[in-house]
Structure 1
Amino acid sequence: MSTSQAQDPKKLAGLIVGAIGVVYGDIGTSPLYTLKECFNGHVALDLNPANILGVLSLIFWSLMIVVSTKYIMFIMRADNRGEGGILALMALAARNATPGSRKAMWITIIGLFGAALFYGDSIITPAISVLSALEGISIVSHTFDPYIIPIAIAVMVALFWIQARGTASMGKLFGPITIAWFLALAGLGIAQIIQAPEVLKALNPLYAIEFFIGSPKIAFILLGAVVLALTGAEALYADMGHFGRPAIRYAWFGLVLPALMLNYLGQGALLLTTPEAIKNPFYMMAPGWMVMPLVVLATCASIIASQAVISGAYSVTSQAIQLGFVPRMDIQHTSEREIGQIYMPGINWFLLASVILLVIGFKTSSNLAAAYGFAVTCTMVMTTLLAFMVLGRGLAGWKKYGLYAMLSLFLVVDLALFASNSLKIHEGGWFPLVIGLVAFILMTTWKRGRKMLSAKLLEGEMPLTGFVESLEAHPPQRVEGISIFMTANTDTVPHALLHNLKHNKVLHEQVVFLTVQTNDIPYVPLKERVTVRRLGESFYQIVATFGFKEEPNIPAVLLQVTQLQPELVFDEMNTSFFLSRETIVEAKYPSMSWWRRRLFSLMSRNATRVTNFFKIPPNRVVEMGMQVEL
């Protein structure tokens, strides 16, 4: 986000509205279920004024410490050229670590596991948000209870079905609808606070402290429900690149935080005067005539919250692909102007199937609350650990020690929340853990397999410089046109070229070695995208560099090359691409365990074809097959 945009009042206002609609959709729906779960959960907690004020104080100060201070004030300072998110933070932390070192290994493990757990969050958030919104129908009449799950599934199917159309048209409605939602939260809360103003005492941290001192065991277990108020905190950081720090901060302190706390305090005020409202304090704050419109508005807000998480899953997967942790997958751009608006069919249908199974299996938002929190708090811990390695750079003396003291406080809070949520693993927390572990195993298997495959291929490769000189001195039969050999290594001869010479015994008039690299920054400036080096009379080397949030486009690269090297004219009908296609077979002394080798082979076979991923015309491609022992 540029400074000029941030300082332009009109643009800043638009960014604030967008941030309210996209960034805060998840945390904005937390009042639907948080306070209810604090008292209706698995903790024997009496509904008396001391407990009500203590729980409210815990919620308020959790929001202030974790969201307002940790994420808004500190973590968002760790940006990778304006981009946030745990993978961007991992890339930043890895810059000062020696490749292959133990430190680099742990940075990768922390970042990858945090990203893997995001998929569990992406499945639970739509389920719990939509279910909790639709459960308000029960306040009107229990006649509709049997239809809540079918309606929730129908909403989910519709939500995931329209993903292919993109979020551009829907995005225009996100901000205004979410603003209306936050204003409704504030209005409902104020109406109840007026009836019992003593609830404002909960803003005093002493009530949270006294609650902990009086019932430390219960308070610790209760943190597993309090964390529901923090859902979506990671989105603040992940979506920083779309809206910028100023817009996200102004939106939080100007509307979101006040609206959330007014609503929580309003629910507490209602419980002080009407304890039986605990069965659903959010909807019971509203007068009877308002419940159904509120259900509709809550459902819309839940859909928006789900949309943000789904888009986040696409973004995380796309970044992981570019960083080499996930096989190539089909990525479709849904907007001609916004590069970040993408659609990934494979991820989309996986999420839909998982969400439907989750809704059918857990049935209610209360049951889902037991599954929620573990993945979020674990990712929070990972983010804080990586922040230690990034934020302290360039600081010295008391500034550095002060920063580490604050990060240590955040880590203690994160670990307390994580430990409390770990108690819920057997009740449902196992679900996001399993999803995260599966994603982590897949990513590490792919990264390790690709590294070992590259090393194996490198063993039989020849130095490029001497080989080109040899071909120039004693050329084989030359044919018309340009041949482009895709290669991952800039110093050795591609296997596809060796196989072509061995079997076809010809060489094109002009030969290009093309290497596509991914940098640890989100976007690479166009002027730094391409470098061209002439290796001989008819041999050229092209290195194209993309950021981890960009999608490689080979035709666009070749067009840029022509501007730099006029003698290279890539006419589509006169240009051929030569690619290597490896088949994994078992070695006599395997370097991978049998299940990892089979998993890697399966992932390789199902990866999106290179032609589709790099936008290469498929009718101009020649694939040279080879077997590699692992």
Structure 2
Amino acid sequence: MVGATGVVFGDIATSPLYAFRESFIGVHKLPIDAFHVLGVLSLLVWTLLIVVTLKYVFVTMRADNRGEGGSFALLALIERRLPGARILPWVSGAALLATALFYGDAMITPAISILSAVEGLELVDARMTAGVLPVTLVIVVLLFVVQRRGTEALALWFGPVMLLWLLTIAALGITNVVRAPAVLGALSPWPALRFLAADPTRAFLTLGTVVLAVTGAEALYADMGHFGRRPIASAWLWLALPALLLCYMGQSALVLAEPAAIENPFYRMAPSALLVPLIVLSSVATVIASQSIISGAFSVTQQAIRLGYLPRVTIVQTSASTLGQVYAPAVNALLFITVVGLVIGFGSSAALAAAFGLAVTATMVLTTLLVGVMIFHIWAWNPLWAVPLYGLLLTCDVALFAASSTKFAAGGWLPVLVAAFLAFVFATWRKGRRLVAAQIDQIDLPLDSFLASVTKVTRVRGTAVYLSRAAVGLPPALLHNLKHNKVLHERVLLATIETALTPIVSPAERITIDEAHGGAARVRIRYGFMQTPDVPAALALLPEPPSAGDTTYFLSRQTIVPSAHPGMMQWRESLFSVMVRNSETPMSAFHLPINRVVELGSQIEI
């Protein structure tokens, strides 16, 4: 539970820094009176109860792919349980778009979280206002510089620090609730319903800022594989949820007593003597929140590569004991550039808040649609209660998304633009790979026929491992090697790397071999989509493992030539060609020994 508190709840636990405030002084301002304060508080309370507790904790987290969660894990689970179903293209599209939106969230979270914490310096001394941006940028630089070291050492502190943070905000909430105990009435849905009935337009627009309270809710599901469903659910129900409710009630009580405190109600809850320690604790908590989502971006990138939706990029395993702790240098660099740009471009957490909600709510709607497939097609729950339950969840998500859409022009366009571009990249890479595979399949020969035709070819000592795209036909490198060098090795292994629709494949299921005559064999190496392939280590599991000193790895390197043939539009084929040229080589991706690799190239027209 403590570990889950540190990693899973970083984002949602730091939302009180800005969520309540933005409901009153954001894009759509509200008057500060008992009616609107209690109405907003009730909306916050019931959004946390319905969207996070009911939807994610009690429903969505049941949809685990052998312990793993997240959009890709859910996609893999549905594909495995409903192979060939007509809805699979729609399911795949929803999962890809949800993943693309996650990257938009990963850009904005560090910027808004760290900015909102550092802005507390303005309350210490008004002259410190000019230092908010420099201090924020220094923290951002340090945050991204340490990523290459991995999070294993830092993670030891995440849990205790976030535990202290949640206890602190709960204590601040309690000390202020006593000033206006009437805020406890917001635990009932009636203040929210009265707000919706009496002022529907303002109430609807307010939902666009209320959603800031549930940013990070997706992490409960996405990080399920690291801790399991039970610790995450327990930590939410017994620690995070009560602390957040008390904190929001404390802020409501404060502004009812002192309306001017709405400028920064979170920090105003604290006594002046504790303001500086609270700013320090807030800054550390927001760094943890940022670290969690950055690590999530690395993990999602690895999954996308393994499932064939992104070109290979360098992925570094940073922990010898925890599989999910990886580092992607290219992703880290891109996130750093965008976060710095957002901090400088928007300048304040209030300005960034307008851009924050749309990506989050769109992801929630897509997740609910995918969970609907589980409820009605796989779990087959009783429609008498499943339909009303699902209707409630979908209605809440759609309402939050619609309200967030009203902030599109104020900054919501940014994560949508990023998500649209990334979804297009996913689709382009996936389709381009299929076009290349179709061209290679046209020149494939059956292995038995090939071996029968080369009985007089000179055989040389050693083992040749040819990486093959598919478990049928011949890899182009084998044909090119025979054509140019006129020899075959004594032992020929055609190795195919397969990514399973499960997060992890055990070593016992890692490798299978199908022997053929003539010293050749097909080897199938299976990894889960959360694992990093290591071909030499996998071949060492064979009954007769090849000697490292006598093994040569042959790779096929294709140069993509865009053409006017029907496939993709030519400019899109050119984009795919650029992605191929800049992707990581199989030598690095599959941990092949540099001095034992031979690459043979060819041109493929698509």
The TM tier, using the shorter chain, reads over 0.9
Residue 622 of structure 1 corresponds to 598
Query: C-alpha separation between the residues in 1 aligned to 2:122 and 2:148?
Result: 33
Residue 607 of structure 1 corresponds to 583
Residue 256 of structure 2 corresponds to 272
The amino acid that maps onto 1:18 is G
Residue 198 of structure 2 corresponds to 214
Q: Is the 8 A contact 1:576 1:622 kept in 2?
A: yes
Q: Does 1:413 align with 2:403?
A: no
Evaluate the alpha carbon distance shift between residue 387 and residue 394 of structure 1 in structure 2; reply closer, same or farther with a 3 A threshold: closer
Query: C-alpha separation between the residues in 2 aligned to 1:98 and 1:242?
Result: 27
Query: C-alpha separation between the residues in 1 aligned to 2:212 and 2:351?
Result: 13
Q: Is the 8 A contact 1:131 1:149 kept in 2?
A: yes
Query: C-alpha separation between the residues in 1 aligned to 2:592 and 2:347?
Result: 46
Query: C-alpha separation between the residues in 2 aligned to 1:479 and 1:307?
Result: 52
After alignment, is 458-467 or 609-618 more displaced? 458-467
Please list, as runs of the form range in 1=range in 2, the aligned pairs for 1:574-585 lying within 5 A after superposition. Answer: 574-585=550-561
Shift of 1:301: 0.3
Evaluate the alpha carbon distance shift between residue 516 and residue 50 of structure 1 in structure 2; reply closer, same or farther with a 3 A threshold: same
Query: C-alpha separation between the residues in 2 aligned to 1:77 and 1:318?
Result: 23
Query: C-alpha separation between the residues in 1 aligned to 2:552 and 2:399?
Result: 59
The amino acid that maps onto 1:292 is V
SS at match of 1:159: helix
Q: Is the 8 A contact 1:388 1:404 kept in 2?
A: no
Please list, as runs of the form range in 1=range in 2, the aligned pairs for 1:240-251 lying within 5 A after superposition. Answer: 240-251=224-235
Q: Structure 1, residues 72-130: CA drift from partner, whole Å, max 9, x if none?
A: 0000000000000011011112234455x752211111000000010010010000000
Q: Structure 1, residues 252-301: CA drift from partner, whole Å, max 9, x if none?
A: 11110111010100000011111111100111111111111100000000
Query: C-alpha separation between the residues in 2 aligned to 1:44 and 1:329?
Result: 45
Q: Does 1:506 align with 2:490?
A: no
1:465 is aligned, of 442, 448, 452, to 448
Query: C-alpha separation between the residues in 2 aligned to 1:586 and 1:62?
Result: 50
The amino acid that maps onto 2:396 is V
Query: C-alpha separation between the residues in 1 aligned to 2:387 and 2:602?
Result: 52
SS at match of 1:117: helix
SS at match of 1:195: coil
Query: C-alpha separation between the residues in 1 aligned to 2:513 and 2:361?
Result: 46
Query: C-alpha separation between the residues in 2 aligned to 1:530 and 1:137?
Result: 58
Q: Does 1:33 align with 2:18?
A: yes
Query: C-alpha separation between the residues in 2 aligned to 1:488 and 1:417?
Result: 44
SS at match of 2:501: coil
TM-score normalized with structure 2 length: 0.98
Q: Does 1:531 align with 2:512?
A: yes
Query: C-alpha separation between the residues in 1 aligned to 2:442 and 2:294?
Result: 42
After alignment, is 311-320 or 195-204 more displaced? 195-204
2:430 is aligned, of 438, 444, 447, to 447
Residue 50 of structure 2 corresponds to 65
Percentage of pairs with the same residue: 46
Residue 525 of structure 2 corresponds to 544
TM-score normalized with structure 1 length: 0.95
SS at match of 1:482: strand
Shift of 1:405: 2.7
Q: Does 1:23 align with 2:4?
A: no
Evaluate the alpha carbon distance shift between residue 540 and residue 401 of structure 1 in structure 2; reply closer, same or farther with a 3 A threshold: farther
Q: Structure 1, residues 477-509: CA drift from partner, whole Å, max 9, x if none?
A: 111111111101212011111111111111111
Residue 63 of structure 2 corresponds to 78
1:92 is aligned, of 77, 84, 100, to 77
SS at match of 1:83: coil
The amino acid that maps onto 2:418 is I
Shift of 1:591: 2.0
Query: C-alpha separation between the residues in 1 aligned to 2:110 and 2:67?
Result: 28
Shift of 1:401: 4.2
Residue 266 of structure 2 corresponds to 282
Gaps of 5+ in 1: 1-15
The amino acid that maps onto 2:42 is S
Query: C-alpha separation between the residues in 2 aligned to 1:401 and 1:450?
Result: 44
Residue 426 of structure 1 corresponds to 409
Residue 33 of structure 2 corresponds to 48
Residue 10 of structure 1 corresponds to none
Q: Is the 8 A contact 1:469 1:536 kept in 2?
A: no
Query: C-alpha separation between the residues in 2 aligned to 1:390 and 1:431?
Result: 31
Evaluate the alpha carbon distance shift between residue 72 and residue 144 of structure 1 in structure 2; reply closer, same or farther with a 3 A threshold: same
SS at match of 1:516: strand
Shift of 1:462: 1.2
Q: Is the 8 A contact 1:579 1:622 kept in 2?
A: yes
Residue 8 of structure 1 corresponds to none
Query: C-alpha separation between the residues in 1 aligned to 2:78 and 2:410?
Result: 35
Q: Is the 8 A contact 1:377 1:417 kept in 2?
A: yes
The amino acid that maps onto 2:513 is V
Q: Structure 1, residues 401-429: CA drift from partner, whole Å, max 9, x if none?
A: 42233122111111111111111111000
The amino acid that maps onto 1:549 is M
Q: Does 1:571 align with 2:552?
A: no
The amino acid that maps onto 1:519 is A
2:303 is aligned, of 309, 319, 326, to 319
Q: Structure 1, residues 370-427: CA drift from partner, whole Å, max 9, x if none?
A: 000111111101111111112334545x724422331221111111111111111110
After alignment, is 581-590 or 369-378 more displaced? 581-590
Shift of 1:587: 2.7
1:598 is aligned, of 570, 574, 579, to 574
Query: C-alpha separation between the residues in 1 aligned to 2:442 and 2:392?
Result: 49
Q: Structure 1, residues 331-350: CA drift from partner, whole Å, max 9, x if none?
A: 11111111111111000011
Q: Structure 1, residues 292-325: CA drift from partner, whole Å, max 9, x if none?
A: 1100000000000000000000010000000000
Structure 1 runs of 4+ with >3 Å offset: 96-99, 391-396
Query: C-alpha separation between the residues in 1 aligned to 2:376 and 2:202?
Result: 36
The amino acid that maps onto 1:545 is R
Query: C-alpha separation between the residues in 1 aligned to 2:460 and 2:246?
Result: 76
Evaluate the alpha carbon distance shift between residue 230 and residue 105 of structure 1 in structure 2; reply closer, same or farther with a 3 A threshold: same
Query: C-alpha separation between the residues in 2 aligned to 1:436 and 1:536?
Result: 50
Query: C-alpha separation between the residues in 2 aligned to 1:588 and 1:204?
Result: 64
Evaluate the alpha carbon distance shift between residue 536 and residue 400 of structure 1 in structure 2; reply closer, same or farther with a 3 A threshold: farther
Q: CA RMSD in A?
A: 1.2
Residue 468 of structure 2 corresponds to 487
Shift of 1:573: 2.3
After alignment, is 462-471 or 311-320 more displaced? 462-471
SS at match of 1:373: helix
Query: C-alpha separation between the residues in 2 aligned to 1:40 and 1:495?
Result: 63
Residue 5 of structure 1 corresponds to none
Residue 521 of structure 1 corresponds to 502
Query: C-alpha separation between the residues in 2 aligned to 1:19 and 1:400?
Result: 34
Evaluate the alpha carbon distance shift between residue 158 and residue 580 of structure 1 in structure 2; reply closer, same or farther with a 3 A threshold: same
Residue 284 of structure 2 corresponds to 300
Q: Is the 8 A contact 1:92 1:390 kept in 2?
A: no
Query: C-alpha separation between the residues in 1 aligned to 2:579 and 2:518?
Result: 40
The amino acid that maps onto 2:158 is F
After alignment, is 495-504 or 607-616 more displaced? 495-504
What is the number of residues matched between the two proteins? Answer: 606
Please list, as runs of the form range in 1=range in 2, the aligned pairs for 1:133-172 lying within 5 A after superposition. Answer: 133-172=117-156
SS at match of 1:82: coil
Please list, as runs of the form range in 1=range in 2, the aligned pairs for 1:85-234 lying within 5 A after superposition. Answer: 85-99=70-84, 102-234=86-218
Query: C-alpha separation between the residues in 1 aligned to 2:433 and 2:338?
Result: 28
Query: C-alpha separation between the residues in 2 aligned to 1:108 and 1:254?
Result: 35
Q: Is the 8 A contact 2:27 2:354 kept in 1?
A: no
Q: Structure 1, residues 213-261: CA drift from partner, whole Å, max 9, x if none?
A: 0011111111010000001000000010111111011101111011101
Query: C-alpha separation between the residues in 2 aligned to 1:426 and 1:151?
Result: 29
Q: Structure 1, residues 345-380: CA drift from partner, whole Å, max 9, x if none?
A: 000011000000000000000000000011111110
Query: C-alpha separation between the residues in 2 aligned to 1:229 and 1:44?
Result: 17
Query: C-alpha separation between the residues in 2 aligned to 1:60 and 1:465?
Result: 67
Residue 536 of structure 2 corresponds to 555
